[in-house]
Amino acid sequence: MKVLTRIGFWLLVAAIALFSLFPFYYAVISSFRSGADLFTVAYVPESFDLSNYFAVFQRQPFGRNILNSIIVAGAVVAVSLALGITAAYAFGRIAFRGRSLLLMTILGVSMFPQVAVLSGMFELIRSLGLYNTLPGLILANLMLTLPFTTWVLTTFMREMPKEIEEAAFVDGATPWIVVRRVFLPLMAPAAVTTGLLAFIVSWNEFLFALTFTLTNERRTVPPAIALMTGSTAYELPWGTIMAASVIVTLPIIALVLVFQRKIVAGLTAGAVKG
């Protein structure tokens, strides 16, 4: 019976792994194939042809697109965390009138689907003169990331022991020093996690990036891949699309692996009795 349970467990794990990893695996092997090969089904890599990878960068400014994505996602993470942590301090620590109403409003913002706000956001971006610019995309993406970073960080902030903050006040700290020197180090795991989520959301964001940019040089990776064209209007360049997909997936995997080690639990142990 015990053996059966174990076998069942590992079968389930294998199924989940297959389900989530197979698409990426198929993208990887497809990216190494070219021409008519692409339209036959193959499950094992039989050729190792890097021409698709060169083609990605030759036929369009893909390097520029990747840089755009990094700038947008990086800025979104930085702004989200900076605003999220300071807002979380206010929401989690300071009692003021309308606090829960404001928190609910922030949650309400994330309720609207992207398409619903698309036209309004378009007008906003246009009137600010940010159409077809990276700051425009950063602003739009903040709408997606700020609500959840604020909420998650507020939850963590509330769990910070009150006495630590008071001890810091007695030591002469201002609220800003408390946030920066005391709470930020303690909340680092939470900040890293939410920052990573914000990065992924912004990195993968498609609709805003498609709508608010016009020229190839200003696009981020997702619309750039979607709008890739082959040598003729009738050719869909599957090989280069797959190569591009693999290239932009790797940074995400690397980021998760790097920061996973930083997400240390129990950092607050020893602060108060326990």
Partner 1 sequence: MAEVALRNIQKSFGGAKVIHGVDLEIRDGEFVVFVGPSGCGKSTLLRLIAGLEDITEGDLFIDGERVNDWAPAKRRIAMVFQSYALYPHMSVYDNMAFGLELAKASRSEIDARVREAARLLQIDDLLDRKPRQLSGGQRQRVAIGRAIVRDPKVFLFDEPLSNLDAALRVQTRIEIAKLHADTRATMIYVTHDQVEAMTLADRIVVLNKGRIEQVGTPLELYHRPANLFVAGFIGSPQMNFVPVEAVSAGSDHIEVRLPGGQTLPVPVHPEGTRTGEALTLGIRPDHLQVREDGPFRGRIELVEQLGENHLLYVAADGLRLTARETGDSRHRAGDVVSLAATGESCHLFRGSGEALPLTVPRGDRTTPPQSRTA
Q: Pick from 67, 70, 173, 255: which binds partner 1 (CB under 8 A)?
A: 173
Q: Pick from 4, 115, 170, 265: which binds partner 1 (CB under 8 A)?
A: 170
Q: Pick from 46, 123, 159, 163: which binds partner 1 (CB under 8 A)?
A: 163
Q: Pick from 5, 39, 172, 232: which binds partner 1 (CB under 8 A)?
A: 172
Q: Least distance (Å) from partner 1 to the CB of residue 83?
A: 23
Please report whether residue 97 would count as binding partner 1 according to CB under 8 A.
no
Please report whether residue 168 would count as binding partner 1 according to CB under 8 A.
yes
CA dist 23 and 27 (Å) reads 6
Burial (CB < 10 A; 0-12, 13-18, 19+), residue 162, is exposed
- State which amino acid sits at residue 201: V
Q: Least distance (Å) from partner 1 to the CB of residue 173?
A: 6
Contact call for residues 115 and 140 (beta carbons, < 8 A): no
Structure tokens at 15: 């199924």
Please report whether residue 113 would count as binding partner 1 according to CB under 8 A.
no
Please report whether residue 273 would count as binding partner 1 according to CB under 8 A.
yes
CA dist 125 and 167 (Å) reads 45
CA dist 248 and 199 (Å) reads 13
Please report whether residue 267 would count as binding partner 1 according to CB under 8 A.
yes
Please report whether residue 98 would count as binding partner 1 according to CB under 8 A.
no
| Stretch of 38-46, 75-83, 171-179, 238-246 lying at the interface with partner 1 (CB under 8 A) | 171-179
- Other C-beta atoms lying within 10 Å of the C-beta of residue 121: 19
Which string of x and - marks every residue 183-212 that binds partner 1 (by CB under 8 A)? --xx--------------------------
Please report whether residue 94 would count as binding partner 1 according to CB under 8 A.
no
| 106 versus 271: smaller Cβ distance to partner 1 | 271
| 35 versus 266: smaller Cβ distance to partner 1 | 266
| 51 versus 268: smaller Cβ distance to partner 1 | 268
Please report whether residue 268 would count as binding partner 1 according to CB under 8 A.
yes
Please report whether residue 263 would count as binding partner 1 according to CB under 8 A.
no
Please report whether residue 271 would count as binding partner 1 according to CB under 8 A.
yes
Contact positions toward partner 1, by CB under 8 A? 161, 163-164, 166-173, 177, 181-182, 185-186, 267-273
